[in-house]
Amino acid sequence: MVAAGIPPRAEPIRRRTLVLLRWVALAGQLAAILLAWLAGVRFALLPALVLVCLGAALNLWMTASPARVTQRGATLQLVFDLAQISALIGLTGGMSNPFALLVLAPVTIAAAALENHLTILIGATTVVMISLAGWFAGPLQHPTLDLAMPPMLQLAHWVAILIGVVFFAAYARRVAIELATTSEALFATQMALAREQKLQHLGGVVAAAAHEMGTPLATIKLIASELRDELADALPERGDLAEDARILGDSADRCRDIMRSMGRAGKDDLLLHAAPLRTLLEEAAGPHSERGITIKIDLLGEGSPPFIRRYPGLIHGLRNIIQNAVDFAGASVTIGAFWGDGRLKVTIADDGPGFPATMIGRLAEPFPVSPKNERRPGYEGMGLGLFIARGLLEGTGAQLEFRNGDTGGAVVTVDWPLDRVEVDSRAALQQNPGLYEELTTS
């Protein structure tokens, strides 16, 4: 009675949610009972009111319980709700009661919030109880109207409810799975982006520390050198002291070299806040370069390739699109970049089967893909890569277009206003003159 797939994580349910839904249901039940009675419909009124009071008593008792309800506790409450609703339906005409479809509410809640086996239990309980309510139904009577439903229509109503149990449970379960999977994937992406941002900021801290340590180390070096010379002149018989002073000076030199190296590394990290376009594309494609697919990068534009702000979201977004292309490519993936007229466009094309025509309009929506592509090692088949990529890239000001190539294969175009992602290359490289000379002379 539930859709196939990975079940959402089983977690406690908020007590307030169940209590609020039950109050709404009880208010509706009481209103329906009183309105029907005032309209002249006669049924077992007192037992029906007792059932409503039992539901209210449970809710009052629940207000003193913990704020979170366990899976087992929620299951017991939903079974009670099913029994209460089914008994009310049985007292008020059974399948002749148009409100019999309300038994679908507990099974829908179970499918959205409970584990698979508990959802199946609630679904089976629903089938049993609504069948008993229809079989042992009390009559509905009216002074002037015949409220009895023909047996064939009652049977059809019962079958419709059974179909509704299966359909609503499957649909609610599917939605819950998609939401849970999407939430977990987005959380993992956010954690990865946060980690990368922290590493980038760490580079600045290292560079600043290396700079600040330079002056104390120079002072130590100077004093050690002076001590060595003075000890050699004043106490020639204590050569060990002069040797100690020399070792101290050499150690200061060593510390200076280490801090200088750390400073260069930190400046390199600072540089990576902005990187050449090709370097950035190579970094995005890097994790998928060893998966048996040729990845080619082509650059075309006005003048030298721009330096691009190294947004973590930009890199991860492109990486997800490249992963999707590699997953379905036959032999190669081409990453083309064009800059000019104030725009930067990156096109990722593969030579695979392309996007199914019926899915192009739904691409980048959060739906899981069940079949795996066994041709490509490392393919996870989550179906969320494009959804996450779109969110990350649109956060950097990009627009995405999904289409199929003229000769086959899938094509994804990412289009930015150039001023949103470009930085002045000289300003970025001035933080590391050595690297600037290396890039400009190569």
pLDDT in tens, 353-394: 888 877 777 676 655 454 444 444 444 444 567 777 888 888
Whether residue 102 sits in one domain with residue 239: no
**pLDDT class of 414 with cuts at 50, 70, 90:** very high
Structure tokens at 59: 């809710």
Q: Note the pLDDT of residue 301.
A: 85
Per the domain annotation, does 311 fall within a domain? yes
Whether residue 163 sits in one domain with residue 257: no
Residue 409 φ/ψ region, left for φ over 0, alpha for ψ in the -120 to 50 degree band, beta for the rest: left
* Mean pLDDT (the chain, rounded): 78
Q: Note the pLDDT of residue 281.
A: 92
Strands 399-404 vs 410-417: parallel, antiparallel or unpaired: antiparallel
Q: Is the dihedral of CA 131, 132, 133, 139 positive or negative?
A: positive
Whether residue 164 sits in one domain with residue 112: yes
Per the domain annotation, does 199 fall within a domain? no
Between the alpha carbon of residue 24 and those of residues 19, 63, 205, 315, the distances in Å are 9, 15, 57, 48
Whether residue 365 sits in one domain with residue 295: yes
Whether residue 134 sits in one domain with residue 57: yes
- Could you give the angle at the alpha carbon of 97 between the alpha carbons of 134 and 174, nearest 5°? 80
φ, ψ of residue 417 to 5 degrees: the values are: -65, 130
DSSP assignment letter at 360: G
Per the domain annotation, does 87 fall within a domain? yes
* One-letter identity of residue 205: V
Which of 245, 274, 303 delimits the end of a domain? Answer: 274
Q: Note the pLDDT of residue 395.
A: 82
Integer-rounded Cα radius of gyration of the chain: 35
Q: Which residue has the higher pLDDT, 50 or 154?
A: 50
**pLDDT class of 349 with cuts at 50, 70, 90:** very high
Q: Which residue has the higher pLDDT, 190 or 219?
A: 219
Whether residue 74 sits in one domain with residue 183: yes
d(CA 295, CA 288): 9
φ, ψ of residue 309 to 5 degrees: the values are: -60, 130
Identify the burial level of 296 via C-beta atoms within 10 angstroms of its C-beta, where 0-12 means exposed, 13-18 middle and 19 or more buried: exposed
Per the domain annotation, does 197 fall within a domain? no
Whether residue 90 sits in one domain with residue 183: yes
Per the domain annotation, does 3 fall within a domain? no
Do 220 and 248 contact (CB within 8 A), yes or no? yes
Per-residue burial over 54-92, b if 16 or more Cβ lie within 10 Å, else e, is ebeebbeebeeeeeebebebbbebbbebbbbbbbbbbbb
Do 408 and 354 contact (CB within 8 A), yes or no? yes
pLDDT in tens, 278-334: 988 998 888 888 888 899 999 988 888 888 888 878 888 899 899 889 988 888 999
Q: Note the pLDDT of residue 338.
A: 93
Range of the domain at 79: 13-189
pLDDT in tens, 5-28: 444 445 567 788 888 888 998 998
pLDDT in tens, 123-150: 899 999 988 988 888 887 877 877 777 8
Per the domain annotation, does 7 fall within a domain? no
Whether residue 282 sits in one domain with residue 425: yes
- Give, for 339, the enclosing helix (H) or strand (E): strand 332-340
Neighbouring C-beta atoms of residue 196, cutoff 10 Å: 17
φ, ψ of residue 286 to 5 degrees: the values are: -50, -50
CATH code (residue 363): 3.30.565.10
The string of DSSP letters for 37-86 reads HHTT-BS-HHHHHHHHHHHHHHHHHHTTS-SEE-HHHHHHHHHHHHHHHH
Which of 274, 289, 316 delimits the end of a domain? Answer: 274
First to last CA, the chain: 65
Structure tokens at 272: 């990576």
Whether residue 178 sits in one domain with residue 85: yes
Average pLDDT over residues 267-287: 76
Query: What's the number of domains the chain is made of?
Result: 3
Do 377 and 339 contact (CB within 8 A), yes or no? no
pLDDT in tens, 417-440: 988 888 876 555 554 444 444 444
Whether residue 172 sits in one domain with residue 51: yes
Q: Which residue has the higher pLDDT, 344 or 6?
A: 344
Per the domain annotation, does 2 fall within a domain? no
Confidence check: pLDDT of 352 > 90 = no
pLDDT in tens, 176-218: 887 777 777 677 667 766 766 665 566 556 666 666 676 777 7
* One-letter identity of residue 221: K
- Regarding pTM above 0.85, the answer is no
DSSP assignment letter at 353: S
Per the domain annotation, does 114 fall within a domain? yes
* One-letter identity of residue 95: M
Whether residue 259 sits in one domain with residue 227: yes
Whether residue 421 sits in one domain with residue 287: yes
pLDDT in tens, 47-79: 889 999 999 998 888 877 777 788 888 888 899
Average pLDDT over residues 155-167: 89
Which of 274, 305, 326 delimits the end of a domain? Answer: 274
Return the minimum-mean-pLDDT range out of 113-127, 174-188, 339-353.
174-188
Q: Note the pLDDT of residue 320.
A: 87
**pLDDT class of 151 with cuts at 50, 70, 90:** confident
Helices (H) and strands (E) in the chain, counts: 13, 10
Q: Note the pLDDT of residue 157.
A: 86
